[in-house]
Structure 1
Amino acid sequence: MTMTARPVPLEDLRNWHLDPVSGNLGHESGKFFSVEGVRVTDPAGPVPAWDQPIIHQPEVGILGILADRSRIGPTRFLMQAKFEPGNPGGVQLSPTVQATRSNYLRVHGGRPVPYLEHFRDVDPESVLADVRQSEQGAWFFRKRNRNMIVESRDAIEPREGFCWVGLPLLLQLLHVPDLLNMDARTVLACAPPEALAGVETVGGGARSGSLSWITDQRTGTELTAELIPLNETARWRLDDGMIRHDSGGHFTILGVEVTATGREVSSWHQPMLAPTGPGIVGALVTREGGTVSVLMRSRTEPGCTDGVELGPTVQCQPDTLERHPERLAPPFLDRFLSPEPGSVRFDVVQSEEGGRFYFARNRYMVVEIDGRLSAPAGFRWFGLDEISDFMRHSFYLNVQARSIALCLTSLVAAHA
């Protein structure tokens, strides 16, 4: 199983074309995804208006993991060792099935997706989790995937490139940089308590006051996001085969040629989004009376279906902040850049989805503080049990918050 990816100018991508009128970048089949422009207004934000390229992928893909609870001991999950062209470290552990609709309908003419039959026309009694969730709202326009965990009722012998992994080991592997891929993290974060035997959160789930606060945040947002032709995005230009911002920050859209073994297709071209620097995703937590509370922030992002989702305490790209002095650093960023001695509970660099993003990495951090500090506007403390409950429903937590929630689960498990 090998994969290589080399840069290709966007104008030279095989089976992709830049529309001569709109400048949008799309596949000749009209499937997979396109790169278009979006015009955003956010009067209450630090930048009230801007344009940017964005990935438009209306298809709802399947992210599915098979679970085995037939044996005494912790739940096992069928994981796949998978290369993606944007992975910084090569192979990563991914869900059993990780496929767009175009992939599993074989628009590319490739081989069938292994184990797909377990997630289509599935017996409802075997479903442990089944929820639509968003992806990166700053880079995807209203992207949704179906996150599923399905219990296998029959013995399944893993195919080449697949293996059963117990939950305790998976949670330990979360502490290894760039190993458990983003799609695996978001699916595992949606797992119900019965699939996480031995990992419990104290409390009664989401409280009415918390739900009302989220609804109020959504009702009050003034953010608007409208798709526009890519060639009308202000301050972005096609330069040297890539699309860049004139500041040199944010991200670029570049092309790659991929050759691979062990994939449904052995060679293809595609565009990818490459951030100009790593990000920080951080959660402030406190423990009171045996319960864990997390300071969350309501985040408005152009690609969010509901405009607002709960994000971690801090979610930013420091190199872009440095290039834009007019943008204020987010509250509490200093607690992650210069944490108090002994306060860091989790600190691991993880990569984001390597099928669309090229070397996109975030430093995931959990910092513990003594007691609940006062929450500014747009922030609220939530119990870990509430966060777990939110993930059984669509579009409450953004993808970064779901990853940080799984990090918290790993910490709870380590002290169980």
Structure 2
Amino acid sequence: MTEFLTRAAPTPLRVAASAYARDGGHSPHTAFHDWYAGAAARTFTQVERVPLDALAGWETDPETGNLRHHTGGFFTVEGLEVRMPAGPVPAWSQPIINQPEVGVLGILVKEFDGILHCLMQSKVEPGNVGGVQVSPTVQATRSNYTGIHGGRPVPYLDRFRDAGSRGTLVDVRQSEQGSAFHHKRNRNMVVEAEGEVEVQEDFHWLTLGQLHRLLAEDDVLNMDARTVLSCLPFAHADLARELGPPADPFQAALIRSCDPSAGARHPLGAVLSWITEARTRTEVRARRVPLAGLPGWHRTPERISHESGAFFDVIGVRVEAGGREVARWSQPMIEPHGTGVVAFLTRSIDGVLHVLMNARVEAGYMDVAELAPTVQCTPASYAHLPSSARPRYLDAVEEADPARVRFRSLLSEEGGRFHHARNRYLIVDTDLDVPADDPDYRWMTVHQLVELLRHSHYLNIQARSLVACLQSLLTPGGPAPTTERKARV
């Protein structure tokens, strides 16, 4: 690895240099452990389930049954009626989170000894598994940073609101879960700091290599950190020179896949036409409707549940927290049933790693379809759906030879809206062949994914998390998968 890259070097090579620094730079990895343990000791949450009608500051609209905050801010829980005639389930209704605000997810970066470091926050959310997780520098809704909650100001927010173009490495709006949110977007940003940065108690500098190590730990690096990291540009023709000799043929194919001059099964123009075709041919009619009387769903004092007992519940929680802008609050949350599976199938085509992407339709997307992982599902839910709805390639993931599983980790989804929502994230190498004209799937290179991530609403939130996991496999000593649950850091 090149030992020193100046700030004038191309950003992808500076990203690669930071990813190579797996043991830390400005702060060794042992110092992270000490900081993280200290953050866990001084930060706490007490989460108590309470009846939906007992949520302080929240009210049920007498006409619609929708759950809303008394200020009109934050979000509402409403009903959604969906018609998708060509889908395996042609019609359904469900509760949905309507949060029209565009929040800020931002990571502040700075060079120390020529290596980019990310200023990360230890943050606790009521829905987190295990308490504290490593989060972006800023993770805030508009209601948060405009002070509707009446709490303390959001640290470092001004670095992102007044970033300017010179220090901005990433600035793009991206979607969140289209199955749970109606048209939800956040502004994903990476901003390079000018001058000195005063590091507050719950913040710590980490290299990308250190963050990649944390991806291999269950429930440590939160969803918002993963989506921002995935948007970093890391495709470049000279990446192979900077990273040095690959550890094995898989890593060699992955590095070649990051080279924009490398061959691809489908040119990017053809991929864009395929996405446009998927968005055009699929008829989706999604209409917000009252939550009260939603077909198939029942409300009790404690929760809103589907009559089958499957999918998810809407629950209420009362929270007391330390180390937050607000010390106590109440809110509704989505509680999924079962652990999900989110997986990339990969294959080397002419020596270049390709990822099998799915053009996936979800009712809450801004534009009908986005690129999703090969497999994205909660297997337990399919006991209540027709067999035709079972995801293609789920068996290929679940029955994969362990020797071909390149990444495996149990990662939490956003703990501010979801209660204990977790997915098994996997990257599985395969020899699978998929017809070039398959209407729902395409083999794509990593550099094509990186290019699409410069733009809004192409890769969904689950795919972005897996792109961050792919990044972690680029450097020697990348995360080694294990079938056992890994201990918290």
> What TM-score comes out, normalization by structure 2 length?
0.82
Match of 1:389 in 2: 451
SS of 1:271's equivalent in the other structure is: strand
1:232 Cα deviation from its structure 2 partner? 3.5
Tell me how far apart the structure 1 counterparts of residues 359 and 73 of structure 2 sit (CA, whole Å): 32
Maintained 8 Å contact 2:235/2:259: no
Which of 272, 278, 283 is the equivalent residue of 1:222? 283
Asked if the contact 1:287–1:371 (Cα under 8 Å) also holds between the matched residues in 2, the reply is no
The answer as to whether partners of 1:288 and 1:371 remain within 8 angstroms in 2 is no
Q: CA deviation at 1:194?
A: 8.4
Query: Is the CA contact 2:89–2:389 (under 8 Å) kept in the aligned structure 1?
Result: no
Q: CA deviation at 1:221?
A: 1.4
| 1:21 equivalent in structure 2 | 63
Q: Does 1:373 align with 2:434?
A: yes
Q: Aligned pair 1:11/2:50, yes or no?
A: no
**Partners of 1:327 and 1:382 in 2: how far apart?**
26
Compared with structure 1, are the counterparts of its residues 288 and 371 closer, same or farther at alpha carbon in structure 2 (3 Å cutoff)? farther
Instruction: Find the counterpart in structure 1 of residue 325 from structure 2.
Output: 264
Contact 1:10 1:255 in 2 (8 A): yes
The answer on whether the counterparts of 1:202 and 1:290 sit within 8 Å (CA) in structure 2 is no
- Map of 2:382 onto structure 1: 321
By how many angstroms is 1:202 displaced? 1.9
Match of 2:193 among 152, 157, 166: 152
Q: Which whole-Å deviations, capped at 9, do the CAs of 1:1-32 have from their partners, x for residues lacking one? A: 21111101101100101111100000000000
Matched, 1:84 2:84: no
**1:203 and 2:260 matched:** yes
Structure 1 contact 204–386 (Cα < 8 Å) conserved: no
**d(CA) in 2 for partners of 1:153, 1:194:** 25
Aligned to 2:247: none
What's the RMSD between the two structures over aligned residues?
Answer: 1.8
**1:35 is matched by which residue type in structure 2?**
V
Give 1:42's aligned residue: 84
| 1:142 correspondence with 2:142 | no
Q: Which amino acid aligns with 2:226?
A: R
Corresponding residue of 1:239: 300
- In structure 1, the residue matched to 2:152 is 111
Residue among 202, 216, 221 paired with 1:180: 221
Question: Is contact 2:53-2:301 (8 Å) kept?
Answer: no
Match for residue 345 of structure 1 among 406, 410, 423:
406
AA at the equivalent of 2:149: H
- Report how many aligned residue pairs link the two structures: 415
Deviates further, 210-219 or 159-168: 210-219
Q: Which amino acid aligns with 1:85?
A: P
Give the alignment partner of residue 300 of structure 1, picking from 342, 354, 361. 361
Equivalent position of 1:410 in the other structure: 472
- Match 1:120 to one of 139, 161, 164: 161
Aligned partner letter, 1:330: P
Task: Tell me by how many angstroms 1:153 deviates.
Answer: 1.4
Report the counterpart of residue 249 of structure 2 in structure 1: none
Please list every run of 5 or more consecutive structure 1 residues that lacks an aligned counterpart in the other structure: none
Amino acid of the structure 2 residue aligned with 1:249: A
Q: Structure 1 residue 264: deviation in Å?
A: 0.6
Contact 1:15 1:28 in 2 (8 A): yes
1:334 equivalent in alignment to 2:376 = no
Moved more, 243-252 or 62-71: 62-71
Measured against aligned partners, the alpha-carbon deviations of 1:74-130 in whole angstroms (never above 9, x if no partner) come to x21000000000001110000000000000000011000000000102221100000
Q: 1:255 aligns with which of 311, 316, 320?
A: 316
Q: Name the counterpart of 1:53.
A: 95
* Cα distance, 1:158 vs structure 2: 1.3
Q: Is contact 2:47-2:319 (8 Å) kept?
A: yes
Q: Within 1, Cα distance between the matches of 2:160 and 2:169? A: 12
2:240 equivalent to 1:192: no
Shift in Å at residue 340 of structure 1? Answer: 2.5
In 1, Cα distance between the equivalents of 2:261 and 2:143?
40
Q: Structure 1 25/337 Cα, relative in aligned 2: closer, same or farther at 3 Å?
A: same
Q: Could you tell me how far apart the structure 1 residues matched to 2:303 and 2:423 are?
A: 23
Residue matched to 1:97: 138
CA distance in structure 2 between the partners assigned to 1:86 and 1:339 by the alignment: 31
Instruction: Give every structure 1 segment of 4 or more consecutive aligned residues whose post-TM-superposition deviation is greater than 6 Å.
Output: 194-197
Percent identity among equivalent residues? 49
Query: Which moved further from structure 2: 246-255 or 286-295?
Result: 286-295
1:72 to 110, 114, 119: 114
SS at match of 1:179: coil
Where in structure 2 are the equivalents of 1:263-282 lying within 5 Å? 263-282=324-343
Alpha-carbon deviation of 1:371? Answer: 5.9
Task: Give the strand-richer structure, 1 or 2.
Answer: 1
CA–CA distance in 2 between the matches of 1:99 and 1:410? 26
Q: Which moved more, 1:189-198 or 1:360-369?
A: 189-198
In structure 2, C-alpha distance between the alignment counterparts of 1:234 and 1:413, rounded to whole Å: 50
Q: Which has the higher helix share?
A: 2
Task: Quote the offset at 1:212 in angstroms.
Answer: 1.2
